């Protein structure tokens, strides 16, 4: 964004009443969060593609349960 556009936006924002400024802030935060979610989705997709490229066999139900139990035990151990 050019400095001229930035300055024009700031000037317009400063002319708004406080409630409208708060709405603009909320909207900008919404847009930023949406961008973060989109970036996280892209990273997740890349990670899943990388896992898929490994051609590993799927986990059995027993292996999944063992992983869950190990994670739970680790979480309990960290609390104490």
pLDDT tens-place string over residues 24-76: 999 999 999 999 999 999 999 999 999 999 999 999 999 999 999 999 999 99
**How open is the CA angle 34-37-68, to the nearest 5 degrees?**
150
pLDDT tens digits, residue range 1-18?
A: 799 999 999 999 999 999
Q: What angle do CA 41, 72, 57 make, to 5 degrees?
A: 55
Quick check: is 30 in a domain? yes
Q: Considering the domain boundaries, does residue 34 fall inside one?
A: yes
- Is residue 8 assigned to a domain? no
Report yes or no on 49 lying in a domain. yes
In a domain, 71, yes or no: yes
Structure token digits, residue 24: 């603009």
| Any domain includes 9 | no
Query: What's the confidence (pLDDT) of residue 37?
Result: 97
Give the count of domains, the chain: 1
**pLDDT at 52 (0 to 100):** 92
- Residue 68: which domain range? 25-79
């Amino acid at each position: 964004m050019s400095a001229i556009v930035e300055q024009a936006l700031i000037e317009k924002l400063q002319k708004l009443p406080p409630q409208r400024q708060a709405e603009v802030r909320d909207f900008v935060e919404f847009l930023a969060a949406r961008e973060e979610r989109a970036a996280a989705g892209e990273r997740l997709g890349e990670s899943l593609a990388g896992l898929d490229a490994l051609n590993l066999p799927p986990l059995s139900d027993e292996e999944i349960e063992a992983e869950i139990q190990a994670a739970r035990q680790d979480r309990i151990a960290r609390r104490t």
